């Protein structure tokens, strides 16, 4: 499915055609041609599965819920995570797929995040570890630098943040800060150790983060909300936003929480 989306998107990503807006999707964002192109592939594959007797619920950012004979398992899909990047021709966007056998974060069972600009696939099965391109994921080592700073801090979920002032302490405690524009891919960067930590102060939606959260769990990362609380019991629905702090290093994670608390962010 994700491979076909990548092939179809080559024609419209970074073009005026791909940037044409159509409507507001179920997730609340404006749907563009790049999104519709990808979702058409998702629906075609789901129809084929249903015709073969597979029963499930599709929950897609653009379409909403569509039941194919059962309410569970749920196939949670963001056809193009990083739509604006795709519309602008910036090669950092992906398809995020997560099979959930319940309704909450802890129920995520299978995850796939497929880059749509590079042939890179991250995947995880609950209890079976994380993989990159079919091989066990071997993360880079992560720790604070010699000056006690976070070497590479990634930010996502900033669209609802009205002021960056509470994040000044966090920025001051990082050596480098990047906002890359695809939540799911950025979570994968943390799982692989390329990102030292990620903070989503405005929260991510279920479509953006469900697959990435399973990858992080299976890679051994520490992942909490902004106050250090568990995300496991949160519902994977359209309304919930997930403020996230995550790192492979408990020391980096703890330092990130300290810097957020210093700015009054909890």
Asked whether residue 142 is assigned to any structural domain, the reply reads: no
With respect to residue 97, please indicate whether it lies within any of the assigned structural domains.
yes
Q: Strand runs (DSSP E) across the chain, as ranges? A: 21-24, 30-32, 56-60, 64-81, 94-100, 108-115, 121-125, 129-132, 135-136, 150-155, 174-178, 197-205, 222-224, 241-247
Domain count, the chain: 2
Pick the residue with more confidence: 161 or 127?
A: 127
Average pLDDT over residues 4-11: 91
Express each pLDDT in 111-142 by its tens digit. Answer: 999 999 988 999 999 999 999 999 999 999 99
- Whichever domain contains 87, its CATH number is 3.30.540.10
pLDDT at 24 over 90: no
Is the model's pLDDT at 159 over the cut of 70?
no
Say if residue 117 is in the same domain as residue 198: no
- Domain hosting 104: range is 2-136
Residue 197 within any structural domain of the chain: yes
From the CB of residue 251, how many other CB atoms can be counted at a distance below 10 Å? 13
CATH of the domain at 211: 3.40.190.80
Task: Tell me the percentage of the chain whose pLDDT exceeds 90.
Answer: 83
Tens digits of residue pLDDT in 51-79? 999 999 999 987 889 999 999 999 999 99
Domain assignment of residue 115, yes or no: yes
- Name the residue with higher pLDDT: 255 or 160: 255
SS3 4: helix
pLDDT reported for residue 23? 67
Q: Is residue 141 part of a domain?
A: no
Q: Could you give the CA distance from residue 233 to residue 225 in angstroms, rounded to a whole number?
A: 12
155 and 101 fall within a common domain: no
Q: What is the pTM of this model?
A: 0.93
Are 187 and 231 found together in one domain? Answer: yes
Same domain for 206 and 175: yes
């Amino acid at each position: 499915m994700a491979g076909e989306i990548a092939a179809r998107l080559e024609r419209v990503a970074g073009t005026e055609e791909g940037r044409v807006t159509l409507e507001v999707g179920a997730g609340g964002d404006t749907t563009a041609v790049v999104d519709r192109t990808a979702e058409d592939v998702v629906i075609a594959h789901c129809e084929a599965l249903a015709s073969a007797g597979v029963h499930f619920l599709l929950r897609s950012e653009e379409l909403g819920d569509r039941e194919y004979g059962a309410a569970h398992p749920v196939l949670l899909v963001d056809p193009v995570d990083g739509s604006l990047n795709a519309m602008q021709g910036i090669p950092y966007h992906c398809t995020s797929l997560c099979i959930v056998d319940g309704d909450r974060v802890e129920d995520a069972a299978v995850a796939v995040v497929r880059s749509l600009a590079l042939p890179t696939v991250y995947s995880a099965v609950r209890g079976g570890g994380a993989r990159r391109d079919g091989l066990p994921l071997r993360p880079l080592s992560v720790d604070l630098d010699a000056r006690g700073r976070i070497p590479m801090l990634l930010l996502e979920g900033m669209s609802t943040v009205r002021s960056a002032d509470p994040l000044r302490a966090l920025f001051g405690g990082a050596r480098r800060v990047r906002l890359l524009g695809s939540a799911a891919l950025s979570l994968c960067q943390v799982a692989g150790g390329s990102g030292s930590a990620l903070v989503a102060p405005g929260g991510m939606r279920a479509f953006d983060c469900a697959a990435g959260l399973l990858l992080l769990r299976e890679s051994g990362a520490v992942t909490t909300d902004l106050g250090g609380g568990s995300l496991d019991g949160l519902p994977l629905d359209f309304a919930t936003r997930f403020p996230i702090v995550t790192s492979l290093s408990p020391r980096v994670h703890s330092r990130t929480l300290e810097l957020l608390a210093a700015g009054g962010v909890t």
